Structure 1
Amino acid sequence: MSSSSPDLNSSTLIIGAGTWGCSTALHLARRGYKNVTVLDPYPVPSPISAGNDINKIVEQGTPISLPFPPSPLTDNHFNTNPGSFSDGEEGASISETLLQLATEGWLTDPIFKPYYHNTGYIICAHTPDGLTQLTKREMLDQKADFEWLDTPAAFRATMPEGVLTGNFPRWKGGFKRTGAGWVFARGALVSAYKEAKRLGVTFITGAKGGVKELLIENGDVIGAVTNHGKQYRAKTTILAAGANAPQLLDMKDQLRPTAWTLAHIKMSREECKLYKDLPVLFNIESGFFMEPDAEKHELKICDEHPGYCNWTVSPSGNKESIPFAKHQIPLEAETRVRGFLKDTMPQLASRPFSFARICWCADTPDRNFLIDRHPEYPSLVLAVGGSGHGFMHITSVGGFVADTVEGKLDQRLKKAFRWRPETAVGRNWEDVQGRRGGPNKMMDFGNVKENEWTHIQERAMGPRL
């Protein structure tokens, strides 16, 4: 398709109504595309979507106007933090550019702005290796907008009296009072969905929207076939199926479906008032929390670790991690959550969990996004590889996908997001990719026995919006 004259009446099929699928649908609809259909096996918000969550951490960049601002060359390495992007050329790192573009959406887009809370952000660690990562990779000791915290009293002073009562053993880190915080993830996801639908996008979700396979004719992808055998044909098909993408397309080992664990604790109304507008507290080795959910009065705590996979061997003999939905977490994850609470808020450490779940993402080998036309199927556009940091970009990632559809994605982003199977040759599936916590290694749900999961009474996650 010509980048100068996109055919707004051409049919577009999006497979996946999660964070990136809804963002893409919204951006296409805003550009005037009139024939966009989205398929997903679950209603929005999906119970397996990482975006179906009460909160996600956000650190602001400086809002900018497209395309990219000039920036002085600071060194020859740029930001090579796993989960970031580097382009090896003069100018702002791609990581910073993406952060700036996402921030512009959180601060100015009426679809997303109501869900951002600029409460501040504490990032810390407690082992020598973790502290080295903070100071060398995150460079907190060089950032003027971070205050250094190195005593239990300093940590406690960041929040109202009675919140942080722990001893913070060996904890050190930085406190950014503004320009960071959290977003109501589920609210933002549903907001994007509703606006895309209002603008004319068709969503087919639930049993009728489950995709069994891509529809391939004459050497190209021309749509998809649902589990019920219905064919949806389109001029352009966009695969935004997240961790489930490898089940529909041979990704040449570029995606590793990886899951994380979280738990909720019920809070009283008085506690919710005390905990309101707190800065996010994130220990890169043990976990994080932010203020309780205003809807259900629950505090979410995540235990930090490199992630779980669900390994199996495919009929062709390939190693595969297969996502599944579960509103429970392994007991070892519960132990980690309670350990984090003992260090920070011991008054909550023994409370029962009101909810827990695993949530899935898909790691690329370098944790860069994968947004590109497939080299063998010219009508197939890939929008996958969130790599644990994809939700932050819900405001802007759909624009990158739309630019790819129209053939006008910025060349630096095109290079970073390209189809790159060479990076997955001989892939080390046990690579922690810069993540810390727990056993400091990748874990396998296959090693968790049936009686080694929590037994929390399940409830629906759907929003009341």
Structure 2
Amino acid sequence: NPNAGFGESGRVVEALLAKAQRRGIALHAGAQVTKLLADGTRITGVETASGERFNGGHVVVAAGAWTQVLVPELAASMVATGHPVFHLKPANPELFAPPNFVVFTADVANTGWYGFPLHPRAGVVKIANHGVGVRLHPEHDPRVVTAQDEADLRAFLAQTFPALVEAPIVYTRRCLYCDTVDEHFWIDRHPTLAGLTVSAGGSGHGFKFAPLLGALAADAVEGKPNPWLPKFRWRGPSDMTSGQEAARFHG
């Protein structure tokens, strides 16, 4: 598809933040929320690691992999998982630049591998795995790629992109997911705590749906009907079947 492309997540988030500021939203960069404030069964605000408090009539927790840290009762319904990401420096960059090389998923349901063409500024090829990942705590566990992860990547490259087999890896990380049991979003008001809405459960595809999720969360907060919200309602583990997203490797 000559009209296709990809969005750089960091730059997209920067653009969204700038748009929010233009609309009068106050941003508190670097403020780490550590707990919710409550008055009986009503959530009244949040407290940060520095002890600063922000009060409001309604709190929306959209904390990704940290959601179950702030809302512990969700720990049985969603977990944080980490997935390997690699940036490789090809010896022959032109082979991996558009239009010769495009965004790809390599039989992703059976391998998990996907990637992007040569980055126009950094000169790297990004390849990652959308699979089972490893469970981790977003605050305490190291988010490092293992030697086995690299070996799995090299084996995949040998079969698929031989020109990248010997390419040096210049950067690695683990991409954090907020995985729900059924791999569906979780966008709903808390059933027993007034003034609290959770918008989470990206399960590896939250960023791709970013243009839509804000409106869904707003409808949940305002109690407006939305045909999609019943699918993403507050639910218990017994309400969910194990997620089998078609475009994800499940082992």
Residue 354 of structure 1 pairs with residue 170 of structure 2: yes
Residue 384 of structure 1 pairs with residue 200 of structure 2: yes
Report the Cα distance in structure 1 between the residues aligned to 2:173 and 2:88, rounded to whole angstroms: 13
Match of 1:186 in 2: 10
Aligned-residue offset at 1:436: 2.2
Aligned-residue offset at 1:423: 3.4
Aligned-residue offset at 1:181: 4.5
Report the Cα distance in structure 1 between the residues aligned to 2:194 and 2:94, rounded to whole angstroms: 52
Based on CA coordinates, which of the two structures has the bigger radius of gyration? 1
**What TM-score do you get using the length of structure 1 for normalisation?**
0.49
Aligned-residue offset at 1:239: 0.3
Aligned-residue offset at 1:421: 1.2
Match of 2:47 in 1: 225
Report the Cα distance in structure 1 between the residues aligned to 2:96 and 2:135, rounded to whole angstroms: 37
Report the Cα distance in structure 2 between the residues aligned to 1:294 and 1:216, rounded to whole angstroms: 48
Identity, % of aligned positions: 26
Root-mean-square deviation (CA, aligned residues, Å) is: 2.4
2:249 to 431, 436, 439: 436
1:251 to 50, 74, 82: 74
In structure 2, stretches of 5+ residues that fail to align are none
284-293 or 331-340, larger mean C-alpha shift:
284-293
Aligned-residue offset at 1:376: 1.0
SS of match in other structure, 1:372: strand
2:120 to 294, 305, 330: 294
Match of 1:343 in 2: 159
Match of 2:22 in 1: 198
SS of match in other structure, 1:338: helix
Match of 1:400 in 2: 216
Match of 1:109 in 2: none
1:56-455 equivalences in 2 (<5 Å): 119=2, 181-206=5-30, 209-249=31-71, 250-251=73-74, 253-267=76-90, 271-272=93-94, 275-277=97-99, 278-283=101-106, 284=108, 285-286=110-111, 287-310=113-136, 321-322=137-138, 328-410=144-226, 412-423=227-238, 435-436=248-249, 440=251
Pairs aligned (count): 245
**What TM-score do you get using the length of structure 2 for normalisation?**
0.87
Distance 1:223 1:263, change over 3 A: same
Aligned-residue offset at 1:340: 1.6
Q: Which amino acid in the other structure matches residue 158 of structure 2?
A: K
Tell me if the contact between 1:306 and 1:432 (Cα under 8 Å) persists in the aligned partners.
no
Distance 1:327 1:242, change over 3 A: closer
Q: Which amino acid in the other structure matches residue 231 of structure 2?
A: A
